[in-house]
Structure 1
Amino acid sequence: MVFVFFCIGGVLGPMHQHASLTTRENAPEATRSLEADVSLLGRTLDAFPGVVVVVGNDWPFYYDIGLLRRECREFGRRVVNVVKTLGGSKEQAVLDFMSGRAEPFIVIASPDFEFTELTASRRIDVDLEHGFDDEARAGLLEHLDTLGVYASNPLSEDDMLRATVVSRDVRRAQKYISPIRAREDVAFQHKLRSLMSEEAMR
């Protein structure tokens, strides 16, 4: 699996940039329509069934993931998650998101979000005027080709579920996996009830 972070400032359908939250001071206002970007990126990813998309714009503060999926419909079911930033940089939010995950990732970013050398080797930089164009597409294809089976292998339903939930939730859920799978254990119901009670008291 490969995570692609979509961090291009602009407008898509009803979704507009909210610069006060995550955009650095004095950055140009991003008002460009992202329909062409999403369309080209969606077509580019068609050949890579192992890629999922995480929306790293400012929209997740204002719109739920259902609307994000509808407006980014060219990505299909690939939109699995969002990055929400309140304080700090967008880059740090991306790194925090990936901190509990071993999968490779790529960031597609415009300059209105603050990214540094920390992510340079796995980032496709786009400008506010041209967005995700043919040059950026070529860079993304190069990255994805390098990643090989991570990008080309189709994902299972379990893979998609792991991509959709945040790592904190995965860690909490792992407490229940063994008991839930041990349905033949006569103590299953008692153990599960005990675990859930402990969790509720925290």
Structure 2
Amino acid sequence: MPRIAKSAVGAEATRSRILNAAVECLIESGVAGTTTLAVQHRADVSRGALLHHFPTHAALLAASVTELVRRNERAVAQSRARARPADTLIAAVETLAFAARQPAYLAELELWAVARTDTALKQALIAAERGARRDLEHVYSQLFGKWTDSDRYSELVELTLHFIRGLAISETIHVSARRRERLVTVWADAMRALLGAKAKS
């Protein structure tokens, strides 16, 4: 392999190692524990290598969003495989609720909260989320495909995401599988009514 190609492969491997280390730090220690020094040690790279790929802490955290989103998409796919077929609308909401209980999703939510007072991180997160939007919309269309032609589809999916995020945050304090199931069912029924006849399973 030519020297330039080897160098590019090595650089990409280093970047991937740093990014994976950052994601694992976010999941295990939260944003406060995901310092550049902690990531550097976990990735086992030099300070120069870390700064070459991620010049700022905000850039490192923002780049982590892409990997977190990828893990969240995998969680959705896993949940779809075990969803209840009896009511496809409830199954779709349950799938998102399952993904929202995974460590990667909670780590992403924590980044959002921190970005409230960190302008650089906020801008970086907006850019990262915008880049992932197409893939996320594809996931939602697979889950709610039967209802995508409804005039209210976009707004109801957005409201569903707000509901799921709120549920995920509340369950960091109080977890009740029975309560979660009841709320998911009530919300799915509300969606059904708002979507109209086309939403009937």
**What TM-score, normalized to structure 2?**
0.29
Write 1 or 2 for the structure with the bigger share of helix. 2
Larger relative CO (CA 8 A, sep 6+): 1 or 2? 1
TM-score by length of 1: 0.29
More strand as a share of residues: 1
